[in-house]
Amino acid sequence: MQEGLADELLAALAWLDFAGVALFAITGALVAARARQDIITCGFFAALTGIGGGTVRDLLIDAPVFWLEKSGYVEVCLAAAVAVWLLKTEHWPERVLLWLDALGLSAYCALGTVKALTFGVEPVAAMVMGVLTATFGGMLRDVLAARPSVLLGREIYITAAVAGAGLTVALALGGFSNWTAGIAGACLAFAVRAGAIARGWTLPGHRG
Protein backbone atom coordinates (compact mmCIF):
# COMPACT_ATOMS: atom_id res chain seq x y z
CA MET A 1 0.00 0.00 0.00
CA GLN A 2 2.80 2.43 0.96
CA GLU A 3 4.72 1.49 -2.18
CA GLY A 4 1.65 2.27 -4.30
CA LEU A 5 1.25 5.66 -2.62
CA ALA A 6 4.91 6.44 -3.24
CA ASP A 7 4.47 5.58 -6.92
CA GLU A 8 1.48 7.90 -7.11
CA LEU A 9 3.46 10.72 -5.53
CA LEU A 10 6.33 10.16 -7.95
CA ALA A 11 3.90 10.28 -10.86
CA ALA A 12 2.36 13.48 -9.49
CA LEU A 13 5.77 15.13 -9.21
CA ALA A 14 6.67 14.02 -12.74
CA TRP A 15 3.51 15.64 -14.10
CA LEU A 16 4.21 18.72 -11.97
CA ASP A 17 7.66 18.91 -13.52
CA PHE A 18 6.30 18.93 -17.07
CA ALA A 19 3.55 21.35 -16.05
CA GLY A 20 6.11 23.75 -14.60
CA VAL A 21 8.15 23.66 -17.82
CA ALA A 22 5.02 24.20 -19.92
CA LEU A 23 3.80 27.14 -17.84
CA PHE A 24 7.16 28.89 -17.92
CA ALA A 25 7.48 28.15 -21.64
CA ILE A 26 4.12 29.79 -22.29
CA THR A 27 5.21 32.94 -20.46
CA GLY A 28 8.38 33.09 -22.55
CA ALA A 29 6.48 32.61 -25.79
CA LEU A 30 3.92 35.24 -24.73
CA VAL A 31 6.63 37.84 -24.17
CA ALA A 32 8.10 37.16 -27.63
CA ALA A 33 4.68 37.13 -29.32
CA ARG A 34 3.70 40.45 -27.78
CA ALA A 35 6.93 41.91 -29.12
CA ARG A 36 5.77 40.76 -32.61
CA GLN A 37 8.62 38.29 -32.96
CA ASP A 38 8.60 35.35 -35.37
CA ILE A 39 7.79 31.75 -34.51
CA ILE A 40 11.47 30.79 -34.16
CA THR A 41 12.05 33.53 -31.60
CA CYS A 42 8.91 32.46 -29.76
CA GLY A 43 10.27 28.93 -29.60
CA PHE A 44 13.62 30.19 -28.34
CA PHE A 45 12.02 32.24 -25.58
CA ALA A 46 9.74 29.36 -24.65
CA ALA A 47 12.67 26.95 -24.29
CA LEU A 48 14.89 29.47 -22.51
CA THR A 49 12.22 30.25 -19.93
CA GLY A 50 10.95 26.70 -19.60
CA ILE A 51 14.22 24.88 -19.04
CA GLY A 52 16.68 27.66 -18.17
CA GLY A 53 16.40 27.52 -14.39
CA GLY A 54 16.47 23.74 -14.21
CA THR A 55 19.50 23.60 -16.47
CA VAL A 56 21.53 25.92 -14.24
CA ARG A 57 20.44 23.96 -11.16
CA ASP A 58 21.54 20.63 -12.62
CA LEU A 59 24.90 22.02 -13.66
CA LEU A 60 25.51 23.43 -10.18
CA ILE A 61 24.58 20.24 -8.30
CA ASP A 62 26.46 18.06 -10.80
CA ALA A 63 23.33 16.22 -11.92
CA PRO A 64 22.53 15.05 -15.46
CA VAL A 65 20.78 17.95 -17.20
CA PHE A 66 17.13 16.96 -16.96
CA TRP A 67 16.04 17.71 -20.51
CA LEU A 68 19.01 15.85 -21.96
CA GLU A 69 18.43 12.84 -19.75
CA LYS A 70 14.70 12.52 -20.40
CA SER A 71 12.84 13.36 -23.59
CA GLY A 72 9.73 15.49 -23.79
CA TYR A 73 10.79 18.74 -22.18
CA VAL A 74 11.99 20.53 -25.31
CA GLU A 75 8.94 19.21 -27.16
CA VAL A 76 6.68 20.69 -24.46
CA CYS A 77 8.40 24.06 -24.86
CA LEU A 78 8.00 24.03 -28.64
CA ALA A 79 4.35 22.97 -28.36
CA ALA A 80 3.75 25.89 -25.98
CA ALA A 81 5.35 28.27 -28.46
CA VAL A 82 3.19 27.01 -31.34
CA ALA A 83 0.04 27.29 -29.22
CA VAL A 84 0.85 30.87 -28.26
CA TRP A 85 1.71 31.70 -31.88
CA LEU A 86 -1.63 30.39 -33.15
CA LEU A 87 -3.79 31.99 -30.45
CA LYS A 88 -4.66 35.69 -30.34
CA THR A 89 -2.67 36.26 -27.20
CA GLU A 90 -2.33 40.02 -27.77
CA HIS A 91 -5.79 40.36 -26.21
CA TRP A 92 -4.83 38.51 -23.03
CA PRO A 93 -4.45 40.84 -20.04
CA GLU A 94 -1.01 41.18 -18.45
CA ARG A 95 -2.30 39.40 -15.34
CA VAL A 96 -2.58 36.17 -17.33
CA LEU A 97 1.20 36.23 -17.66
CA LEU A 98 1.53 36.87 -13.92
CA TRP A 99 -0.71 33.94 -12.98
CA LEU A 100 0.99 31.52 -15.36
CA ASP A 101 4.36 32.62 -14.01
CA ALA A 102 3.06 32.12 -10.45
CA LEU A 103 2.06 28.54 -11.21
CA GLY A 104 5.43 27.81 -12.79
CA LEU A 105 7.30 29.41 -9.90
CA SER A 106 5.33 27.37 -7.37
CA ALA A 107 6.00 24.08 -9.08
CA TYR A 108 9.66 24.75 -9.73
CA CYS A 109 10.72 26.12 -6.35
CA ALA A 110 9.58 22.84 -4.81
CA LEU A 111 10.84 20.57 -7.57
CA GLY A 112 14.24 22.24 -7.63
CA THR A 113 14.56 21.82 -3.88
CA VAL A 114 13.49 18.17 -4.00
CA LYS A 115 15.99 17.36 -6.73
CA ALA A 116 18.81 19.07 -4.85
CA LEU A 117 17.94 17.11 -1.70
CA THR A 118 17.92 13.83 -3.59
CA PHE A 119 21.44 14.61 -4.83
CA GLY A 120 22.68 15.11 -1.29
CA VAL A 121 22.81 18.90 -1.27
CA GLU A 122 22.67 20.30 2.26
CA PRO A 123 19.34 21.94 3.28
CA VAL A 124 20.11 25.66 2.93
CA ALA A 125 21.85 25.13 -0.41
CA ALA A 126 18.91 22.99 -1.54
CA MET A 127 16.60 25.92 -0.80
CA VAL A 128 18.81 28.16 -2.91
CA MET A 129 18.65 25.65 -5.75
CA GLY A 130 14.86 25.66 -5.51
CA VAL A 131 14.67 29.44 -5.68
CA LEU A 132 17.15 29.49 -8.57
CA THR A 133 15.13 26.90 -10.49
CA ALA A 134 11.98 28.96 -10.03
CA THR A 135 13.35 32.37 -10.95
CA PHE A 136 16.32 32.09 -13.32
CA GLY A 137 14.35 31.29 -16.48
CA GLY A 138 11.97 34.20 -15.93
CA MET A 139 14.89 36.51 -15.23
CA LEU A 140 16.56 35.54 -18.52
CA ARG A 141 13.24 36.03 -20.35
CA ASP A 142 12.81 39.56 -19.02
CA VAL A 143 16.44 40.60 -19.55
CA LEU A 144 16.56 39.41 -23.17
CA ALA A 145 13.16 40.97 -23.89
CA ALA A 146 14.31 44.28 -22.33
CA ARG A 147 11.26 44.37 -20.09
CA PRO A 148 11.07 45.23 -16.37
CA SER A 149 12.08 42.13 -14.44
CA VAL A 150 9.34 40.59 -12.32
CA LEU A 151 12.01 40.03 -9.68
CA LEU A 152 12.27 43.80 -9.13
CA GLY A 153 8.55 44.42 -8.76
CA ARG A 154 7.20 45.56 -5.41
CA GLU A 155 4.84 42.59 -5.15
CA ILE A 156 6.18 39.54 -3.33
CA TYR A 157 7.90 37.21 -5.83
CA ILE A 158 11.19 35.74 -4.68
CA THR A 159 9.74 35.52 -1.16
CA ALA A 160 7.10 33.11 -2.43
CA ALA A 161 9.79 30.86 -3.87
CA VAL A 162 11.78 31.06 -0.62
CA ALA A 163 8.67 30.12 1.38
CA GLY A 164 7.92 27.13 -0.83
CA ALA A 165 11.51 25.92 -0.86
CA GLY A 166 11.81 26.46 2.89
CA LEU A 167 8.69 24.44 3.68
CA THR A 168 9.89 21.67 1.38
CA VAL A 169 13.19 21.43 3.26
CA ALA A 170 11.53 21.71 6.68
CA LEU A 171 9.09 18.89 5.99
CA ALA A 172 11.80 16.71 4.45
CA LEU A 173 13.97 17.19 7.54
CA GLY A 174 10.91 16.49 9.69
CA GLY A 175 10.60 12.98 8.30
CA PHE A 176 8.16 13.46 5.43
CA SER A 177 9.10 12.07 2.04
CA ASN A 178 10.73 14.53 -0.33
CA TRP A 179 7.79 14.21 -2.70
CA THR A 180 5.16 14.95 -0.05
CA ALA A 181 7.26 17.88 1.15
CA GLY A 182 7.57 19.16 -2.41
CA ILE A 183 3.84 19.15 -3.07
CA ALA A 184 3.21 21.02 0.18
CA GLY A 185 5.95 23.51 -0.66
CA ALA A 186 4.48 24.17 -4.10
CA CYS A 187 1.06 24.83 -2.58
CA LEU A 188 2.51 27.32 -0.07
CA ALA A 189 4.51 29.14 -2.73
CA PHE A 190 1.42 29.52 -4.90
CA ALA A 191 -0.68 30.76 -1.97
CA VAL A 192 1.89 33.45 -1.16
CA ARG A 193 2.36 34.53 -4.78
CA ALA A 194 -1.42 34.48 -5.39
CA GLY A 195 -1.90 36.80 -2.42
CA ALA A 196 0.71 39.14 -3.86
CA ILE A 197 -1.01 39.24 -7.25
CA ALA A 198 -4.58 39.46 -5.98
CA ARG A 199 -4.03 41.70 -2.97
CA GLY A 200 -0.76 43.45 -3.71
CA TRP A 201 1.17 41.93 -0.81
CA THR A 202 4.61 43.49 -0.43
CA LEU A 203 7.46 43.56 2.06
CA PRO A 204 8.93 46.81 3.39
CA GLY A 205 11.48 48.31 1.00
CA HIS A 206 14.88 49.78 1.85
CA ARG A 207 14.58 53.30 3.28
CA GLY A 208 18.21 54.32 3.04
* Secondary structure in 3-state letters for the chain: CHHHHHHHHHHHHHHHHHHHHHHHHHHHHHHHHHCCCCHHHHHHHHHHHHHHHHHHHHHHCCCCCHHHHCCCHHHHHHHHHHHHHHCCHHHCCHHHHHHHHHHHHHHHHHHHHHHHHHCCCCHHHHHHHHHHHHHHHHHHHHHHCCCCCHHHCCECCHHHHHHHHHHHHHHHHCCCCHHHHHHHHHHHHHHHHHHHHHHCCECCCCCC
pLDDT of residue 119: 93
- Residue at 158: amino acid letter: I
User: Within 13 Å and on the Cβ side, how many CA atoms surround 156?
Assistant: 23
Beta-carbon count within 10 A of 197 CB = 17
At residue 3, φ and ψ (nearest 5 deg) are -65, -40
pLDDT of residue 75: 95
Helices 2-34 & 94-118, crossing angle to 10 degrees? 140
Please compute the mean of the pLDDT values over residues 65-89 and round it to a whole number: 90
Please compute the mean of the pLDDT values over residues 68-75 and round it to a whole number: 92
162-166, 173-177, 191-195, 198-202, range with the lowest pLDDT:
198-202
pLDDT of residue 13: 63
pLDDT of residue 171: 97
Does 7 have pLDDT greater than 70? no
Residue 156 lies in a domain: yes
CA 7, CA 9: separation in Å to the nearest integer? 5
Residue 205 lies in a domain: no
- Answer yes or no: are the C-beta atoms of 171 and 110 closer than 8 Å: no
Residue 204 lies in a domain: no
Number of independent structural domains in the chain: 1
- Residue at 30: amino acid letter: L
pTM of the predicted protein model: 0.86
Length of the chain counted residue by residue: 208
In which domain, by residue range, is 10 found?
2-199
Residue 95 pLDDT grade (very low, low, confident, very high; cuts 50, 70, 90): confident
Residue 104 lies in a domain: yes
Residue 206 lies in a domain: no
Average pLDDT, the chain: 87
Please compute the mean of the pLDDT values over residues 104-116 and round it to a whole number: 92
pLDDT of residue 34: 85
Does 1 have pLDDT greater than 50? no
pLDDT of residue 126: 96
Residue 207 lies in a domain: no
Does 3 have pLDDT greater than 60? no
Q: Kindly report, residue by residue over 9-41, the tens digit of the pLDDT.
A: 556 666 778 888 998 899 899 889 888 889 999
Does 131 have pLDDT greater than 90? yes
pLDDT of residue 9: 55
Q: Kindly report, residue by residue over 138-148, the tens digit of the pLDDT.
A: 888 888 888 87
Residue 159 lies in a domain: yes
Please compute the mean of the pLDDT values over residues 150-170 and round it to a whole number: 88
CA 89, CA 139: separation in Å to the nearest integer? 21
Residue 8 lies in a domain: yes
